[in-house]
Amino acid sequence: MATPNGLARIETTGKKKQDNGVWYDDSSAPVRAQTIDELHSLQRKRSAPSTPKRSAPTTPIKGGAHSPFAVAISEEERHTQQMQSISASLASLTRETGPKVVKGDPAAKGEAAAQGAPSTPRAHQQHRHPAAPAIAVSDSSLKFTHVLNNLSPAELYEQAIKYEKGSFITSTGALATLSGAKTGRSPRDKRVVKDEVTAQDLWWGKGSPNIEMDEKTFLINRERAVDYLNSLEKVFVNDQYLNWDPENRIKVRIISARAYHSLFMHNMCIRPTDEELEDFGTPDFTIYNAGQFPCNRYTHYMTSSTSIDLNLARREMVIMGTQYAGEMKKGLFGVMHYLMPKRGILSLHSGCNMGKDGDVALFFGLSGTGKTTLSTDHNRLLIGDDEHCWSDNGVSNIEGGCYAKCIDLAQEKEPDIWNAIKFGTVLENVVFDEHTREVDYADNSVTENTRAAYPIEYIPNAKIPCVGPHPKNVILLACDAFGVLPPVSKLNLAQTMYHFISGYTALVAGTEDGIKEPQATFSACFGAAFIMLHPTKYAAMLAEKMQKYGATGWLVNTGWSGGRYGVGKRIRLPYTRKIIDAIHSGELLTANYQKTEVFGLEIPTEINGVPSEILDPINTWTDKAAYKENLLRLGGLFKKNFEVFASYKIGDDSSLTDEILAAGPNF
C-alpha cells in the first residue's frame, strides 16, 4: 500500500533484527498454516456467493479432492518410495563426488572423469529432447534418477503443474506456486565454512551476517542433500551465468528437486544461448538445493531443521529445510560479494539506470525508501533493480531478472511490474480466485512477502545487454522518520563512505496503539545480510572508483519534513522526483550550498520545482527546540551504530577509518 504521496508505506512486518545487530527485510515469518492442506486452502480464495458457479475441472483426480490435476501416484506412495530410496542411498560407500547430474561434454570428458567432476552435455542432447532426458545412475546403483537439463519455461510449467501440488496458472499466464513453511529467508540458518583463507578474508563477529561452520559439518550436510537428490525420480539442472560483463561472468550450476526452483533461477540468472550451453564446461559454482529435505538438527552447528551452507573453497552451496527460492538468489549474491572484490570489482546491492546521454546512476536504499520507485524512470533505461558490479569496464547487472515484491501491487502504481506478470513469471505465495485464477495482491493470507520473479526483458525500458558506462551519480536513499535530514545533500568522498557503511533508514511501527517512536535502522552497505568482507573494504572500493571515474555522492531523504513521524508530513514524491531529475541533469553540481549543523551536510539553497524552504529541514519545524532534540538524537544513533566499525584497520593503517569517522555527525 502507498501513502497519499505515492511512496511505499513504511512497515515493520517481516523486518527482524538478529542478535548480532544485522537487519533483514525479507526474513521468514511464521507461516499462517499448520498443515500443507491448510496452506493450499489459503492459496486459493473461494469466490463470493454471488459469483456464478463454473463447471468443475474434468481431469480425473487421484490423491485427494483438493488436487485439481491428476497425479501418477498418491503422496503417501511417493513418500514411501522416496524413503526406501534414501535408505538404499545411505548404504552406499561411493557418494564422495555427489550426483552424476550430467554425462560430460566430449572435449572435457577425460579431464572431468579424472577429477571426478561433472561436466555438461551438449545443448542439443538436453534442450531439444525433453521427452527423453539424460539418465544417470545414482551412487547407490539401485535406481535411476532422470536428470532434466535446462528445460524451457513451458516444459517447467508442465512439470510443476503435473507433479507439484500448489502450482497453478494464473489468469495472466504466470505460474503461481508455494514455497512451503518458509515464506522468506532464514538468515540465522545461513552459515559459511570458516577455514584458513576465509578466517582472514571474511568479516566475522559482532555486526557480521556471517555465521561460521566447519568443513566436516558442511560435508555431512552436503552428503545428506546429495543422497536426497539421488533418491528422487528426477532432478532439474540449470547451467547459467552471473554478471552481464562477459569478461567477468561466473558460470553457475543449480541442481534442484522442484520445477518451480528451476524456473525461478532460469528467470533470475543470465540465460545462455544454445551455443554457449554446448561450450559451458565445468561450472564455477554449484548449488545443491535439497530444500524439501531437512538437515539433521543434531548435527554440530545446526539450530533448526533448516540450513543454508556456503563453502567458498569448494565453490558449493547446500540448501536444506527451506523451499524459499530467494535463498538461491541471495546466496549467489553473497558469492559475488566475495569473488568480485578479489578481481578489483565492486559488488553492489543497488538499483541502476541510464539516461539517454549515457549518464548512469546507482540507487542504494533499504525497504520503504523508494528505491524501486525512483530508479524506475520511463525517461531512462533500466540496467538492473538489485545487484550490480562496478569494474574498470563500467557497471553491469549481476542478474538476468527481477524479484519484485507483490504485496498491494496495483497497475496504476507499478505498471511495469504489473505487465511483467505473464507467462514465464513465477508468483510466490500469492492468493488467487479459485475459478478465475485472478490474483488478489492485497491478500496476505499466506505471507506479506509475496514475490514475482521474471526475466528483465519483460520490462519495456530494460537495457539489453544490462551494462553501462561508469556511474556519474551515487544516490543513497534514506527514509528519515525523525524529520531532520535534508531532502538532498551533496556528499564528499568521506561522507559517502560514512553513509554507505551506515546504510540508514527509519521504521515506524504503525498506529494500532497510537503514534510510535521512529526506530533507526542501519544495514551496512545497504545490504548487510549479503556482504562477505568488512564494510569498510567495500566503502573504500566505492570511494576509489568514484574518485577515479568522477562520480558524485548524494544523500536523498524521502522521509518526513516539518516534524518527525506523527507530527510532520512525508516529503512529497513529486519534489523527490524533481531532486532526482536535478541530480541526473547536473543542475545540482552548479547550485549554491550551505552546511548543516551536527551532520555537516552540504545542502543546495535552490532547486527548480522544489520549495526552497524545505531544503533546510529546520525551516519546516515550528518547534525549533524539538528539531534540535531529534537532530542530536539521530546523530547519537549514528555514532552508536558506527562503534562496531570504528576500530577496523586496513593492514596496520587506521587513517582511512579515522577519515570516515570524521565525516560523521559531530557535536
Q: What positions carry a catalytic annotation? A: 185, 330, 349, 367, 371-372, 386, 451
CA distances from 252 to 3, 51, 239, 315, 332 (A): 40, 48, 6, 10, 9
Output DSSP code: residue 188.
G
DSSP-assigned states of every residue in 234-268: EEEEEEEEE-S-TTS-EEEEEEES-HHHHHHHHHH
Phi, psi of 547 (to 5 degrees): -70, -40
Could you tell me where the DSSP H helices lie in 508-662?
535-549, 573-585, 624-642, 655-662
Q: 289-312: string of b/e by CB count within 10 Å (b at 16+)? A: bbbbbbbeeeeebbeeebbbbbbb
Phi, psi of 449 (to 5 degrees): -90, 55
In SS3 terms, 428-495 reads as ECCEEECCCCCEECCCCCCCCCCEEEEEHHHCCCECCCCEECCEEEEEEEECCCCCCCCCEEEECHHH
Q: Do 250 and 239 meet the contact criterion of CB atoms below 8 Å apart?
A: no
Kindly provide the residue ranges of all beta strands, DSSP E only, lying in 109-170, ordered along the sequence. Answer: 134-137, 144-149, 168-169
Determine the 3-state secondary structure of 382 from DSSP. strand
Close Cβ partners of 311 (under 8 Å, ≥ 6 residues apart): 192, 193, 215, 218, 222, 317, 318
CA distances from 471 to 117, 352, 474 (A): 40, 9, 7
The rounded distance, in Å, linking the Cα atoms of 120 and 106 is 9
Which long-range CB contacts under 8 A does 498-501 form with residues at least 24 apart?
Answer: 498/642, 498/660, 498/661, 498/663, 498/664, 499/553, 499/555, 500/364, 500/476, 500/525, 500/526, 500/535, 500/538, 500/539, 500/542, 501/525, 501/535, 501/536, 501/539, 501/642, 501/645, 501/660
- C-alpha of 346 from chain center: 17
The rounded distance, in Å, linking the Cα atoms of 136 and 229 is 12
For residue 554, give the C-alpha cell. Answer: 548524494
CA distances from 330 to 229, 233, 530 (A): 22, 28, 7
The rounded distance, in Å, linking the Cα atoms of 612 and 615 is 6
Phi, psi of 148 (to 5 degrees): -100, 105
Q: Which of 449, 448, 451, 444 is nearest to 417 (CA)?
A: 451
The rounded distance, in Å, linking the Cα atoms of 428 and 437 is 14
Measured in residues, the chain has a length of 667
Q: Which of 200, 204, 180 is nearest to 191 (CA)?
A: 204
Q: Do 290 and 229 meet the contact criterion of CB atoms below 8 Å apart?
A: yes
Q: Which of 350, 357, 319 is nearest to 228 (CA)?
A: 319
Could you tell me where the DSSP H helices lie in 128-214?
153-163, 196-201
